[in-house]
C-alpha cells in the first residue's frame, strides 16, 4: 500500500483551505481539494489577525470552527477520491495564522488538531512553527527546505517565489543545498485582494486586469516603501500584522496630505497598480541581492495566476537572465505547492527528520518540527 500524507494549508490570503493527499520519492498527488471559507468564519479570522475585543473567547470559537471545517474537508477528500483513512499515515495541518510576532517569540496558528484527528480518525501533525521559534528562529518561512528537496537542481540556479498573501522566496543555488536560503520579501495578495474587494466587490483582481488599467503612483510608492520591514535584513518574516488595510489607509492619508498631492492620480485602479508594484519591487531587489548570475524562477501561490504580475516579473527579471514560469512547468500546480509542503513536513516529523533551515529562519540549529496528535 502506498504511504500517503495529507497536507493542509490556508494562508494569509484566507481565500480557502487547500488539501492534498501525496506520496513522496517520487512525488505523486493522489487527490486535491479546495474548500472555501464560510464568509462569517473568514471575516472572523481576518478580524482576529489584529488586536480587538474579547479575543480569547472569539479565538476559542474560531479554533473549533476552523478545525471542524478541516476535519470535514479531509473526509470529503477521502470520499471523493475513494481513499481510506488507513492509507494515510498522518495529516500535516498548518492551521490558520492569526498572529505572527517572531520578535516577541511567538506565532499563533489555530485549528485544534485534536478535533481534526477525532473527525478524520487520522493522526495530525500541527504546530510547526514554535519549535523553530524556541530555537531563536522566525518560525518562517518553512517551505524552503521542501523547495530544495523537490525543486533543487545540480546545475541550474533556481528560485521559488510564493505569491500568497505575503511574498516569499527560496533561493536554491545549483548543486549546493548548504547555501539554500529564503525569506518573506513583503506583501503580495494581502493588499491587492483587500483593495479589490473594497472597490469592486470581487475577492481578487482576475488576471491583474484591473491593475493593468491603472498607472502606479510614484509619490504613494515612496511613502509605502518607508515601512521598516523593507529595510530589515534576513532572516525575516511578516504577515497581516505589518501589512493590512488599516496600514494601507494610513499610507493613503499620508499621501493625500502631502503638498504635492495630485487628485487626478487618486483613482482606485491606480492604487491597485501601485500595490502590484509594491509586490514586484522588493522581489526584484531580493533576487538582485542573492548574487546569482541568473537561472530559473518558478512562481507558486495565487499570484501565479495574475497575468499582469507575472508579466511585470518577466520584464524586470528577464533583463537579468532569469526565466520566469509557474511551478506548473516543474510538474506541480501553483495551487498545491504549499499544501504539499505541509504533507512533506508531516512526513519529516513522522520520520524524525528536521523540517527547518536555520539559515532561513535564524534558528540555532536543525529541528524536528510539529506536534503529533493521535497515534501512528
Give the integer Cα–Cα distance in Å for 73 and 268.
37
The answer on 125 and 76 residing in a single domain is yes
The answer on 324 and 304 residing in a single domain is yes
The confidence score (pLDDT) of residue 73 equals 98
The answer on 168 and 316 residing in a single domain is yes
The confidence score (pLDDT) of residue 332 equals 98
Give the integer Cα–Cα distance in Å for 100 and 282.
20
pLDDT of 1 above 80: no
Quote the Cα angle for 347-351-353, to 5°.
90
Span 131-170, pLDDT tens digits: 999 999 999 999 999 999 999 999 999 999 999 999 999 9
The answer on 299 and 355 residing in a single domain is no
Mean pLDDT for the chain overall? 96
pLDDT-derived band at 2, boundaries 50, 70, 90: confident
Give the integer Cα–Cα distance in Å for 201 and 7.
31
Span 162-196, pLDDT tens digits: 999 999 999 999 999 999 999 999 999 999 999 99
The answer on 40 and 112 residing in a single domain is yes
The confidence score (pLDDT) of residue 69 equals 98
The answer on 156 and 92 residing in a single domain is no
Instruction: Spell out the residues 6+ positions from residue 222 whose beta carbon is closer than 8 angstroms to its own.
Output: none
The answer on 44 and 183 residing in a single domain is no
- The answer to pTM > 0.85 is yes
Instruction: Spell out the residues 6+ positions from residue 164 whose beta carbon is closer than 8 angstroms to its own.
Output: 11, 12, 13, 188, 189, 301, 302, 303, 338
Give which of 276, 297, 263 is closest to 209, Cα–Cα.
276
The confidence score (pLDDT) of residue 297 equals 98
Find the mean pLDDT for residues 63-84: 98
Q: Which range marks the domain in which residue 51 is found? A: 4-139+337-373
The answer on 276 and 179 residing in a single domain is yes
pLDDT of 64 above 90: yes
Give the integer Cα–Cα distance in Å for 173 and 159.
8
pLDDT of 245 above 80: yes
**Exposure string over 218-248, b if 16+ CB within 10 A, otherwise e:** eebbebbbebebbeeebbbbbbbebbbbebb
The answer on 302 and 153 residing in a single domain is yes
The confidence score (pLDDT) of residue 12 equals 87
Q: Assign residue 242 the CATH number of its domain.
A: 3.30.420.40
Q: Domain boundary residue among 296, 311, 330?
A: 330
The answer on 251 and 129 residing in a single domain is no
Least confident of 1-15, 235-249, 255-269, 330-344: 1-15
Q: Domain boundary residue among 313, 330, 347?
A: 330
Give which of 193, 163, 153, 178 is closest to 15, Cα–Cα.
193
Query: Binding site membership: which residues?
Result: 11-18
The confidence score (pLDDT) of residue 223 equals 98
The answer on 159 and 67 residing in a single domain is no
Report the domain count for the chain. 2
The answer on 149 and 130 residing in a single domain is no
Q: Which residue has the higher pLDDT, 376 or 181?
A: 181
The confidence score (pLDDT) of residue 60 equals 98
Query: Binding site membership for ATP: which residues?
Result: 11-18
Amino acid at each position: 500500500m502506498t504511504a500517503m500524507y495529507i497536507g493542509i494549508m490556508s494562508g494569509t490570503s484566507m481565500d480557502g483551505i487547500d488539501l492534498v493527499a501525496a506520496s513522496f520519492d517520487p512525488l505523486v498527488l493522489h487527490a486535491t481539494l479546495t474548500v472555501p471559507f464560510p464568509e462569517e468564519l473568514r471575516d472572523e479570522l481576518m478580524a482576529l489577525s489584529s488586536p480587538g475585543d474579547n479575543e480569547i473567547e472569539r479565538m476559542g470559537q474560531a479554533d473549533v470552527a476552523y478545525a471542524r471545517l478541516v476535519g470535514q474537508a479531509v473526509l470529503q477528500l477521502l470520499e471523493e477520491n475513494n481513499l481510506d483513512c488507513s492509507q494515510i499515515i498522518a495529516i500535516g495541518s498548518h492551521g490558520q495564522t492569526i498572529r505572527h510576532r517572531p520578535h516577541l517569540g511567538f506565532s499563533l496558528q489555530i485549528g485544534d488538531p485534536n478535533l481534526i484527528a477525532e473527525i478524520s480518525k487520522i493522526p495530525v501533525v500541527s504546530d510547526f512553527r514554535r519549535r523553530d521559534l524556541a530555537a531563536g528562529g522566525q518560525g518562517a518561512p518553512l517551505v524552503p527546505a521542501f523547495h530544495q528537496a523537490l525543486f533543487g537542481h545540480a546545475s541550474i540556479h533556481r528560485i521559488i517565489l510564493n505569491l500568497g498573501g505575503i511574498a516569499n522566496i527560496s533561493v536554491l543555488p545549483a548543486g549546493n543545498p548548504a547555501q539554500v536560503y529564503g525569506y518573506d520579501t513583503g506583501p503580495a495578495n494581502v493588499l491587492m485582494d483587500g483593495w479589490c474587494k473594497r472597490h469592486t466587490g470581487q475577492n481578487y483582481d482576475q488576471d491583474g486586469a484591473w491593475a493593468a488599467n491603472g498607472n502606479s503612483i510614484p509619490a504613494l510608492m515612496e511613502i509605502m516603501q518607508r515601512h521598516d520591514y523593507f529595510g530589515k535584513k534576513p532572516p525575516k518574516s511578516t504577515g497581516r500584522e505589518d501589512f493590512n488595510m488599516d496600514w494601507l489607509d494610513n499610507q493613503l492619508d499620508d499621501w493625500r496630505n502631502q503638498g504635492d498631492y495630485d487628485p487626478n492620480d487618486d483613482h482606485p485602479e491606480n492604487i491597485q497598480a501601485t500595490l502590484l508594484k509594491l509586490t514586484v519591487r522588493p522581489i526584484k531587489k531580493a533576487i538582485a541581492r542573492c548574487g546569482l548570475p541568473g537561472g530559473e524562477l518558478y512562481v507558486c501561490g495565487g499570484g501565479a495566476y495574475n497575468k499582469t504580475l507575472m508579466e511585470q516579473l518577466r520584464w524586470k527579471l528577464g533583463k537579468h537572465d532569469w526565466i520566469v514560469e509557474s511551478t506548473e512547468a516543474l510538474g506541480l500546480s501553483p495551487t498545491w505547492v504549499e499544501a504539499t509542503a505541509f504533507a512533506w513536513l508531516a512526513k519529516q516529523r513522522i520520520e524524525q527528520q528536521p523540517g527547518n533551515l536555520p539559515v532561513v529562519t535564524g534558528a540555532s540549529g536543525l529541528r524536528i518540527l510539529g506536534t503529533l496528535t493521535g497515534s501512528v
